[in-house]
Structure 1
Amino acid sequence: MEKLYDHYDRLHDYVRLSITDRCNLRCVYCMPKEGLPFFPTDKVLSQDEIVKMIENFAEMGVSKVRITGGEPLLRTDVVDIIRRIKNVSGIEDVSITTNGLFLAKKAAALKEAGLDRLNISLDTFKEDRYKEITRGGNIEQVLDGINTASKLHFKKIKLNIVLIKGQNDDEILDFLNYTKDHDVNVRFIEFMPIGNAEKTWKKEYIGLKSVFDICDENKIKYHPIDLSGNGPSDNYQIEGFSGSFGLIHPISSKFCENCNRLRITADGYVKACLYWNEEIDIRKAIPDKKEFRRLIQKSLDRKPLNHEMAMDEEDRIIDKAPTWRHMSQIGG
């Protein structure tokens, strides 16, 4: 088996696969207020195309798959997709990122299908604030979904919190305290300038050093831990607490140098780097393993070492503009 390496000898064994660009929320950091025009059904990868693609990747050494969106639970065949991917030889770990609104209804079926891990977006514990950040979401549905999933013994449940200055940064302590009696990993994520005006982003960005500052102010003792999984977070546990917290800081402390993932959009493009516009259409090549591999390797050969490197390496980076896609169209 010839595995996938990029120009910097990084092994890529992890695929993030968007199965839909549709979402039932309009989160402020993910989608414009007016929403986006969604792809017509025939432009989105079919279940059979998805499974065949993962079979191709498995033969190239990929062992971990994360299902993303949009909101992946909006696809009526999401359980079947997960079951079939889990049954692909070589795939060891299947996870999903969801806003949690449909989780209470689908958690048991997802577990039965073989889903290993869950990432659930939850940027606040406050009902009115949640409705404001998501532009209309019902936080009770999400909390119900988390409670339901917690009883099913997934390998790990993570809560994703995008910190936004002036919107939810005053709840850091609440999230830290949540890990006292809940065996979850609360992950604080820096706000990224993807699909957002630069001036707006700078006003709303807050570095994750603020999490440590809150711990120090409240005399909270914590220590670093190793947490199994595929994420780029630095993880810690507060002494005596059941759960843990993690920091994902793509801006203040870039994790790019250890990036091991490829992102596949719902319409069948591969993106080796989340931030840049570089992408290659691989949909037509799915039935042809040789051509599929050639295109994937082509994408990896152009992958920058980090976000800034893409501005310098003119000989390999074809399109150096930031991606035209909003976060909801990439899957994070």
Structure 2
Amino acid sequence: MLKDTFGREINYLRLSVTDRCDFRCVYCMAEDMTFLPRAQVLSLEESEQICRAFVELGIKKIRITGGEPLIRNNITHLFNQVGQLQGLEELTLTTNGSKLTELATSLKLAGVKRLNISLDTLDSEQFTELTRFGKLEKVLDGIQAAKRAGFERIKLNAVILKNRNLDQVPALVNFVLSEGLDISFIEEMPLGAVVEHGREEEFCSSAEIRAVINREHPLQESAVKTGGPSRYWQVPGYQSRIGFISPHSENFCASCNRVRVTAEGRLLLCLGNENSVDLKDIIRRNPGDIEILKQAIVNAMANKPEKHHFYEDDAEQIVRFMNTTGG
């Protein structure tokens, strides 16, 4: 089992396979966002080698993210390869849902157990405004396709901004309750320079979101623990989990059990710090030598910080966007 210098067991890898999306999200709203040259992005073979190395080191859960991972050519091949790794207990996916009508069944057959679908609003006009090119109906159709495919759990992720989509919280909760889905409401993480809103004035805490929900549905704290940063609540009479990811107001660093690998192969030890190791460079300088890769991962754990540092006085401290980091 991988451990860091603070004794935390690391058993969860989030791997980004592309920095590109077919439409933007709340995390990536800057006008001047640029994308990586293709040669700088991990190949699917390199991504599989990284997954294999982590599993051999004791990682039990892998989440494939992006950008939008399902726009990668031949992406189901990667899911098939990773899904067969001995020792891996759970393979999951974060997606914006736009390709699920085509790929949900193939992903389920490849071994994907759970889906996280990013959805910040159920207002079709607001959805197109937020995403520039997205169509809400396509995402909703994708959710239904995923339900038919039979995934163990399907969870929506919603980033809530006070003056942009806070009014959508009741509709999102009613939707997941009626559809038998889960949802996590996420405090905005200040990654990259965003000029369309001021982060402090738009910040909405998990406590504020719970207060909005409680006006219509009384929440009861749940004993469910998934090993991730979400803290779950439930509405009596429903099975849906209503989670809150609170990197600011309810810091969860003490129990952090995960690391990330970006689309360009940088092993990030913390979402809110710039400590990283270039795994792509190690792979390309030592083709086929998984032991060197594994040793680099083990060595990197010594640099995993105790906690994150996101921003001060509304100024971003982390310059990369979530499309590169991985959602």
**Structure 1 length normalisation: TM-score?**
0.90
Measured in 2, the distance between the counterparts of 1:5 and 1:45 equals 25
Q: Equivalents in 2 of 1:307, 1:6: separation in Å?
A: 15
Give yes or no for contact 2:115–2:155 (8 Å, CA) kept in 1. yes
Distance, in Å, in 2 between the alignment partners of 1:62 and 1:45 is: 20
| Other-structure match for 1:307 | 308
Change (3 A) 1:29 1:50: closer
Name the residue aligned to 1:318: none
| Distance (whole Å) between structure 1 residues aligned to residue 264 and residue 188 of structure 2 | 25
Q: Matched residue of 1:95: which SS?
A: strand
Residue 67 of structure 2 corresponds to 70
Counterpart position of 1:139: 136
Q: Secondary structure at the match of 1:280?
A: strand
Q: CA deviation at 1:119?
A: 0.3
Task: Work out which of the residue numbers 298, 308, 318 in structure 2 matches 1:323.
Answer: 318
Answer yes or no: is the 8 Å Cα contact 2:66–2:326 preserved in 1: yes
Q: Offset of 1:309 from its aligned partner? A: 11
The equivalences for 1:1-332 within 5 A come to 3-36=1-34, 38-196=35-193, 200-218=198-216, 220-227=217-224, 229-286=226-283, 287-308=288-309, 322-332=317-327
CA displacement at 1:13 relative to structure 2: 1.0
Q: Partner amino acid for 1:244? A: R
Q: CA deviation at 1:90?
A: 0.9
- Is the alpha carbon distance of 1:106 and 1:227 closer, same or farther for their aligned partners in structure 2, counting shifts above 3 Å? farther
Please report how far the alpha carbon of residue 296 of structure 1 lies from its aligned counterpart in structure 2 after TM superposition.
1.6
Asked if 1 retains the 8 angstrom alpha-carbon contact of 2:254 and 2:306, the reply is yes
Give the Cα–Cα distance (whole angstroms) in 1 for the partners of residues 254 and 157 of structure 2: 22
Identify unmatched segments of 5+ residues in structure 2: none
Secondary structure of the residue that 1:165 maps to in structure 2? coil
Shift of 1:249: 0.5
Cα displacement string for residues 271-330 of structure 1 (whole angstroms, at most 9, x for unaligned residues): 01111222111124343334323322332211111114999xxxxxxxxx9333111110
TM-score by length of structure 2 reads 0.91
Amino acid paired to 1:161: A
| Conserved 8 A contact 2:273-2:310 | no
| SS of alignment partner, residue 187 of structure 1 | strand
Percent identity reads 36
Gaps in structure 1 of 5+ consecutive residues: 312-320
**Matches of 1:187 and 1:263 in 2, distance apart?**
19
Distance 1:299 1:161, change over 3 A: same
Q: Distance in 2 between matches of 1:241 and 1:65?
A: 28
Structure 2 distance, partners of 1:309, 1:27, is 19
* Number of equivalent positions: 319
8 A contact 2:180–2:239 mirrored in 1: yes
Are the structure 2 counterparts of residues 201 and 238 from structure 1 closer, same or farther at C-alpha, using a change threshold of 3 Å?
same
Q: Hey, what's the Cα distance between the residues in 1 that align with 2:159 and 2:311?
A: 25
Deviation at 1:28, TM superposition (A): 3.7
Tell me which moved more, 132-141 or 277-286. Answer: 277-286
**Deviations 1:186-206 (CA, angstroms, capped at 9, x unpaired):** 110001111135982112111
